[in-house]
Structure 1
Amino acid sequence: MAITTKAYGAISEKEPLKPLDIKRREVGENDVKLEISFCGVCHSDIHTVRNEWGGSKYPVVPGHEIIGRISKVGQNVKNFKEGDLVGVGCMVDSCQECEQCKKDLEQLCDKGATFTYNSEDKYLKGERTYGGYATQIVVDKEFILRIPENIEAAAAAPLLCAGITTWSPLKHWNVKKGDKVGVIGLGGLGHMGVKFANALGANVVMITTSPSKAEDAKKLGAHEVLISNDEAEMKKHKNSFDFILNTIPVGHRMDPYIALLKYDATMVLVGAIEPLDPFHGGGLIRGRKRISGSLIGGIKETQKMLDFCGAHNIVSDIEMIDIKDINEAYDRVVKGDVKYRFVIDMASLKE
């Protein structure tokens, strides 16, 4: 059985998002249903709606930074109850049996995680998963996240993608007090990277091409700002970083940033899901340096991140919008005209 839900989505890559009716499954014995209060706007939403990565199946209803209150739980659900403030991030299912899933790395599931939108729906034959630009969603209990009640719910929405995307590599590579950490790019991902690295006790350097972003970076927790197209300043920081988080969302030159790493240090890519400019192998070889990548994080790790945010009162800097303004918001995201994440007030869809 399926229930009809109001949503906002795209029916082709050439058309703007508009109101749609979509199908959600009925609440099963292991399911949780939530009424969606807020949904963040991620650049991945735009890439998928506009089919910039290829593979989009229409209609597309984006949104994987979902916050809401539980309205119904299945009979096997013991850890959540009606009224709880919860979230849904980038995944709604995985095989839960493979080596990666057993290690709480569901995002790396051997059989492929079921993503919150544009994946094959395991429950409704012939349907795709639809995301959080909607009034409600039904999700397996293993993929529900508890949101601390002491932080602002709307501003917590981007933690479910931008937050975990930056938190996971900082923790995996054991960033600690006193480390010199660079964060390249001050956008939705970068501003969270600065906040987390600062809260972990690192000496945080925002690396940007824009001197105008220096004041904001310091307000967010950066101790220093490095202008990456200033060759003299870059030379001063050569071979000095313990860790670099690279959030640049497009292909770019890597050599200048590789030169900043200490020997045995790592730069992690979380932004550019596309070809990078060729770089010189010598920059890595001469310092036994590493370039790696990181994809969101597992459910257990995401919950730890949310608990850390509750303990340290960390949320995203957001601009709230109504759903009717989503197409304009997409254009502004592409232009970099948001500080630092749009969040949709989903009450506006009901209205």
Structure 2
Amino acid sequence: MKAAQFNTLVNKVEVNEIPIPEPGPNDILIKNACASLCHSDLMLFWGHTAEKPPMDKVTIGHENTGFVTAIGSNVQGFKVGDVVGCLGCSYACCKLQSLGCSAFGQCSTIDLLNHLDECEGCRVHSLHCAKGTGRMHGFTTHGHFAEYSLSDYRNAMVLPKGMDTVSTAPLFCAGVTAYHAVKKCGLQEGDWISIIGCGGLGHLAIQYAKALKLRVIGIDISDSQLKNAKSLGAELTYNSASYVGYAEEIKQKTYGGAHAAVVLSASNAAYSTAPNILRVNGILMVIGIPKENLSINALDILLGKYRIMGASSGTPQQMREPIEFSHKHGIKAHMTTIDKIEDIQKIIDLMEAGKTAGRFGIVF
């Protein structure tokens, strides 16, 4: 089969002929319908990610949908022909108990004994698995920009009936992340939320925020992405590069500032200016991964000027809710696609240019 692979020796993506993989005991083999590109894939190419490929050539991509064509001996809940999607991290131990308590301090004695047999890391993110077996598709294990790919079945789900495979592919990273970024802010209907970076993740976050009946402010440096943000329901939109006084205007029009600012941009400048649009004790939600470490004023946090939170695609337990929510509310990724894997560089160039809102992918 053909696969788009990042060659670590020459630092570029190339299309190679490789064998169709054989599923291991916990694997499902997927004939891919669509694979989409994420900004973190670009970070791999730039060398700005901590997840380094252990092989010379790794198939890229961690967002996909497709059809199950074979299953491993331990696989449960899937059959050949199922239409599926999967999260970006596989092979963690996934040793979790389904308990009613939400933290150790609220557990009964029996619950505490059960907790001793579960993986604390897997409760937060599969990459924190205590056994150290979690692997990121497209980084430390092969990804989905190929005609066929593997996924740990515990990391996958069958799509709701009738859900479009192409626009759904990005939801398994961008969608799950954007949904939880908005939801975990814990805002009330009518509260103001600012989406900083209205592109690949941002256009999804705006749709989730609107479905949750929040009032949306879109901030970006691209007028085309801001136009798209407005069409999706953002009440206020600002080009932070061309309008110096946008922060003051936001505070005036929202009577104090946004209740939360979700930073989806990978720009350090976006993070340094985000607190300026927040009302007192507002939430700075960290999602975008900039090249440099963030700088914060410790006194601001100590005095409660604003709070800092984070969210990610995380664990399989966080997957189903946003996918089903998206289907229920008609939330879809705006997709620019190509149908030849040999043209992979075209979508890489489009994403790096950052001039078009939405996601980029290959339809197989």
The question of whether the paired residues in 2 share the 8 Å contact of 1:36 and 1:66 is answered with: yes
Please give the per-residue CA displacement for 1:300-332, whole angstroms capped at 9, x wherever unaligned: 211111011111111100011121211122122
1:85 and 2:61 are equivalent in the alignment = no
1:261 and 2:278 are equivalent in the alignment = yes
Task: Please state how far the C-alpha of 1:252 moved relative to its aligned partner.
Answer: 1.6
1-structure distance, mates of 2:290, 2:226? 26
1:234 to 238, 241, 247: 247
2-structure distance, mates of 1:316, 1:242? 25
Task: Please state how far the C-alpha of 1:222 moved relative to its aligned partner.
Answer: 1.3
Normalised TM-score (structure 2): 0.83
Letter matched to residue 137 of structure 2? T
Task: Please state how far the C-alpha of 1:73 moved relative to its aligned partner.
Answer: 2.2
1:178 and 2:190 are equivalent in the alignment = yes
Please give the per-residue CA displacement for 1:3-35, whole angstroms capped at 9, x wherever unaligned: xx5322132364542232446653344332211
For 1:250, the equivalent position in structure 2 comes to 267
For 1:106, the equivalent position in structure 2 comes to 126
2-structure distance, mates of 1:324, 1:56? 22
1-structure distance, mates of 2:159, 2:150? 17
The question of whether the paired residues in 2 share the 8 Å contact of 1:42 and 1:63 is answered with: yes
The question of whether the paired residues in 2 share the 8 Å contact of 1:252 and 1:276 is answered with: no
* Percent identity of paired positions between Structure 1 and Structure 2: 26
What SS does the aligned partner of 2:320 have? helix
Task: Please state how far the C-alpha of 1:270 moved relative to its aligned partner.
Answer: 0.9
1:117 and 2:134 are equivalent in the alignment = no
Length, aligned pairs only: 332
2-structure distance, mates of 1:134, 1:306? 23
Task: Please state how far the C-alpha of 1:52 moved relative to its aligned partner.
Answer: 3.6
Please give the per-residue CA displacement for 1:146-188, whole angstroms capped at 9, x wherever unaligned: 2223332111111111111211222222234212100001110
1-structure distance, mates of 2:244, 2:304? 20
1:329 and 2:347 are equivalent in the alignment = yes
RMSD: 2.4
2-structure distance, mates of 1:216, 1:195? 11
1-structure distance, mates of 2:9, 2:182? 35
For 1:126, the equivalent position in structure 2 comes to none
Task: Please state how far the C-alpha of 1:95 moved relative to its aligned partner.
Answer: 2.4
Go from structure 1 to structure 2 and tell me whether the alpha carbon gap of 1:13 and 1:342 turns closer, same or farther (over 3 Å shift): farther
**Residue ranges of structure 2 left out of the alignment (5+ in a row):** 96-118
What SS does the aligned partner of 1:157 have? helix
2-structure distance, mates of 1:44, 1:277? 17
2-structure distance, mates of 1:259, 1:170? 19
Moved more, 243-252 or 13-22: 13-22
Please give the per-residue CA displacement for 1:323-342, whole angstroms capped at 9, x wherever unaligned: 12111221221111333111
Go from structure 1 to structure 2 and tell me whether the alpha carbon gap of 1:294 and 1:16 turns closer, same or farther (over 3 Å shift): same
The question of whether the paired residues in 2 share the 8 Å contact of 1:107 and 1:296 is answered with: no
Please give the per-residue CA displacement for 1:122-163, whole angstroms capped at 9, x wherever unaligned: xxxxxxx21001121232221112222333211111111111
For 2:362, the equivalent position in structure 1 comes to 344
The question of whether the paired residues in 2 share the 8 Å contact of 1:177 and 1:201 is answered with: yes
For 2:107, the equivalent position in structure 1 comes to none
Please give the per-residue CA displacement for 1:247-286, whole angstroms capped at 9, x wherever unaligned: 1113225443202212222111211243246454455455
2-structure distance, mates of 1:344, 1:117? 15
1:221 and 2:239 are equivalent in the alignment = no
1:164 and 2:176 are equivalent in the alignment = yes
Letter matched to residue 11 of structure 1? N
Normalised TM-score (structure 1): 0.86
1:307 and 2:324 are equivalent in the alignment = yes
Go from structure 1 to structure 2 and tell me whether the alpha carbon gap of 1:147 and 1:107 turns closer, same or farther (over 3 Å shift): farther
Task: Please state how far the C-alpha of 1:104 moved relative to its aligned partner.
Answer: 6.4
2-structure distance, mates of 1:13, 1:273? 25
What SS does the aligned partner of 2:175 have? helix
